[in-house]
Amino acid sequence: MTTQTRNNVFETNSSSTHSISIAASSGGIYETLPVDGNGSVILTGGCFGWGWCKYHDAQTKANYCGIYACNCADKRRMLEEVIEEVTGATEVLFNLSDSYIDHQSHDVVGKAFESKETLKEFIFNPKSVLRTGNDNDETPDGWYDNDDGNKDDTTYLFSRQQITEHLVTLLSWAKKLNRNDVLDKLSFDDQYIVEDIDRYTDDIIELLNRRY
């Protein structure tokens, strides 16, 4: 019998263990993606291998989907349409050089492409999560706990329209105000970075009462 000893060689009896969780509803709060001055959203990909990581942010999840879909015309077009509809972008550019999803997990995100609505909920719903890891190490404690992405140091990017629509709904309900009156009172810059819109509702109502 011949025995062969190999040093510093990748072992093939282990694999990555990526998974996705798609939330059924965001409660009306969705993230967005940055749109450049040309109206483009640019996906820059990334490297998704064996590391233990959790991603709730839209940018990482969109990049992950971009790597998966880039070589399939139908899936690529679905991804483009969803991103354009949510962000208002006119085009989606794929700049994915040197990007990869570990081959053992490459098809995991395929479930998100079952429909445009499912894909939207996966990418833009901050409650939906992408997890990466492997079966060679022990799973970290609490790895599959459902934290809904609500970490103290997490901020989300919302478009002016998303913030306006959400606040109109909240304020109309809380103060029984006419929708058009609320819209007239609200003024926002094009984009805000906020942690939790609902958290500021009382302050906003108080401010509107003082001013109007």
* pTM flag (> 0.75): no
- 132 with 161, same domain? no
Amino acid type, 43: L
**Region 15-34: what's the mean pLDDT?**
83
6 inside domain: no
Residue 106 corresponds to which tokens in the numbers above?
Answer: 């490459």
Q: Is the pLDDT assigned to residue 136 strictly greater than 90?
A: no
- 125 with 189, same domain? no
- 108 with 204, same domain? no
What's the rounded Cα separation, in Å, for the pair 40 and 180? 32
Q: Which one, of 110, 107, 102, 140, lies nearest residue 15 by Cα?
A: 102
- 166 with 122, same domain? no
In terms of Cβ atoms closer than 10 Å to its own Cβ (0-12, 13-18, 19+), residue 183 is middle
The predicted structure's pLDDT at residue 154: 42
- 25 with 116, same domain? yes
The predicted structure's pLDDT at residue 138: 76
What's the rounded Cα separation, in Å, for the pair 41 and 59? 10
- Tens-digit pLDDT profile for residues 81-126: 999 999 999 999 999 999 999 988 889 999 999 999 999 999 999 8
- 95 with 31, same domain? yes
Biggest CA pair distance of the chain? 89
Query: Are 19 and 55 contacting, i.e. CB atoms less than 8 angstroms apart?
Result: no
Residue 101 corresponds to which tokens in the numbers above?
Answer: 């999803």
The predicted structure's pLDDT at residue 169: 64
Instruction: Give Cβ neighbours of residue 110 (< 8 Å, ≥ 6 apart).
Output: 68
- 166 with 71, same domain? no
Q: Which one, of 77, 43, 54, lies nearest residue 131 by Cα?
A: 54
Among 106, 141, 176, give the residue marking a domain's end. Answer: 141
24 inside domain: yes
Please give the radius of gyration of the chain, using alpha carbons only, rounded to the nearest integer: 21
Q: Which one, of 126, 119, 124, 118, lies nearest residue 147 by Cα?
A: 126
- Tens-digit pLDDT profile for residues 42-77: 999 999 998 889 999 999 999 999 999 999 999 999
Residue 167 corresponds to which tokens in the numbers above?
Answer: 């606040």
- 59 with 123, same domain? yes
- Tens-digit pLDDT profile for residues 172-199: 655 566 666 666 665 544 334 444 445 5
- 129 with 26, same domain? yes
4 inside domain: no
Among 111, 141, 171, give the residue marking a domain's end. Answer: 141
- 43 with 108, same domain? yes
164 inside domain: yes
3 inside domain: no
- 136 with 163, same domain? no
- Domain of 38? 19-141
- 104 with 166, same domain? no
Among 80, 108, 141, give the residue marking a domain's end. Answer: 141
Q: How many domains does the chain have?
A: 2
CB atoms within 10 A of CB 159: 20
The predicted structure's pLDDT at residue 196: 46
207 inside domain: yes
The predicted structure's pLDDT at residue 6: 40
Instruction: Give Cβ neighbours of residue 60 (< 8 Å, ≥ 6 apart).
Output: 46, 130
**Beta bridge partners of residue 91, listed in sequence order:** 40
Least confident of 9-23, 59-73, 157-171, 178-192: 178-192
